[in-house]
Structure 1
């Protein structure tokens, strides 16, 4: 009897301490998960990160390697200058479709501030597209591009938006030509279309976007069928060769208006806005803002 009484007394003394210990242990265990759940993850931190965006201009193999026009002239280029202003890359949402008449809604934009004259024929036949500018830019997908071709104030294209210098040969005849174009244009383009996507800039990475120029639209392509849509719309070179004297041809837009047939001159004016692309992606001619 005495032994049982001592046991009960002992339990009575120990039990409040055990209950207090259990109650006191709950708070730290509950606080720990709450602290971890409020910490930033790498994904939430990445939203403000940047990478390197390369903005390039590309005349494609037609310019770097030469080609045969729709009317059989073998053309090579010494220089092909384009004077670019307001060259701007965008992140857009929703994706911009210029041919659908969409409005470009940019969440980010990166602009080349200076007007730059670029030689699309620079380098050898295997050269990379010309680097216009390399900038630090917010990470994300750059899926639209715009630029203007304006008359240069100075440099090798002074007075003109585009200067095309090269040599054309056919059946033993050679024409050294310089075409000076002062028709100013503006292009607005959507996503790059090609073998691989461009403009996807990861944090800390490098990506590029490209203003592409399709000069086969002007001269045609001798490897395509004569009734191909490209060749039907192209000017070719024969009408220009007919203006040469002693194997030399240096003309500007005013000369071409005066000396080409009305049909050929109007065709030239219709072709110029179709030169600008993003890879194979089409662009729309837009209003000049300069």
Structure 2
């Protein structure tokens, strides 16, 4: 019996160790699930919010303005047809003067093509919503690119840009429809304006803006005549000069034939400067 007692004690100790080990394994199983695989950790999931893409013709389109050569212009419709609209989270700020596509690990694109009327609403209307992406990764989108392409259908069918309205000067009224069949790609950096845009927070909504400066085409009477803007802009007088029975209805092909070479080249050049990001410049190319 004296020899059996130590053996008996050793058996008891070994049994306790085995049971302890089984208990430990059961506790681990409770933490990882019955499959033995780690449970999903929500803290590591990508945070998302909503990013809206808006187009803005500014007060020039909403309220009208006086051209560099004295024509009071108001707009009925300003249709732009947008495609391949993409926002970027760039580590290095995009330089529009260098051009190229913004480089970013995180980007979000708006599917489809979207015809927007920049003249929609009253004179105090907000920038027009082109579309939105509701699962955009959180962070600051500090660059944007888009294409302006010919519409396949709708009020701008066959054109990337359709501008209609009237111009008045010295008791004379000209109704106009200026249509552009050329296509463009534009890219710009961070929005330049009174507020910061493009900052998406988890569950929140932010917006980016594609801004179109139509004073670049017609000039602005409130800007000095020798300003770069007015020197480069054709103004409205060249369009008025080709009016027939008080109406101008032309596309770029017709304008190339009817305008002077100098005025046509000014128009071609200034159309490349139409797109902005607020007051920030864009790099633009003809497609």
TM-score bin, normalised by smaller chain: 0.7 to 0.9
Report the Cα distance in structure 2 between the residues aligned to 1:177 and 1:101, rounded to whole angstroms.
Answer: 34
Of 259-268 and 97-106, more deviation after overlay is shown by 97-106
Instruction: Report the structure, 1 or 2, having the larger helix content.
Output: 1
Query: C-alpha deviations, 1:113-143, integer Å up to 9, x for none?
Result: 1111110000000000000112111100000
Displacement after TM superposition at 1:100 (Å):
3.5
**Secondary structure at 1:251 match in 2:** strand
Alignment gaps of 5+ in structure 1: 1-43
Report the Cα distance in structure 2 between the residues aligned to 1:173 and 1:45, rounded to whole angstroms.
Answer: 67
Displacement after TM superposition at 1:45 (Å):
3.1
Conserved? CA contact 1:46–1:203, under 8 Å: no
The residue aligned with 1:226 is 225
Report the Cα distance in structure 2 between the residues aligned to 1:103 and 1:252, rounded to whole angstroms.
Answer: 29
Taking only aligned residues, the RMSD between alpha carbons, in angstroms, comes to 1.6
The residue aligned with 1:160 is 159
C-alpha change, 1:96 and 1:66, in structure 2 (3 Å) is same
Conserved? CA contact 1:85–1:114, under 8 Å: yes
The residue aligned with 2:127 is 129
The residue aligned with 1:97 is 95
| 2:284 paired with 1:285 | yes
What's the TM-score once normalised by structure 2's chain length? 0.83
Report the Cα distance in structure 2 between the residues aligned to 1:84 and 1:102, rounded to whole angstroms.
Answer: 19
Give the length in aligned residue pairs. 246
The residue aligned with 1:181 is 180
C-alpha change, 1:149 and 1:156, in structure 2 (3 Å) is same
Alignment gaps of 5+ in structure 2: 1-41
Report the Cα distance in structure 2 between the residues aligned to 1:155 and 1:219, rounded to whole angstroms.
Answer: 26
What's the TM-score once normalised by structure 1's chain length? 0.82
Report the Cα distance in structure 1 between the residues aligned to 2:234 and 2:58, rounded to whole angstroms.
Answer: 19
Describe how 1:1-290 pairs up with structure 2 within 5 A. Answer: 45=43, 48-101=46-99, 104-136=102-134, 137-286=136-285, 288=287
Structure 1 stretches of 4+ with a deviation exceeding 6 A read none
Displacement after TM superposition at 1:101 (Å):
4.5
Q: Highest CA radius of gyration, 1 or 2? A: 1
**Secondary structure at 1:106 match in 2:** coil
Report the Cα distance in structure 2 between the residues aligned to 1:47 and 1:231, rounded to whole angstroms.
Answer: 52
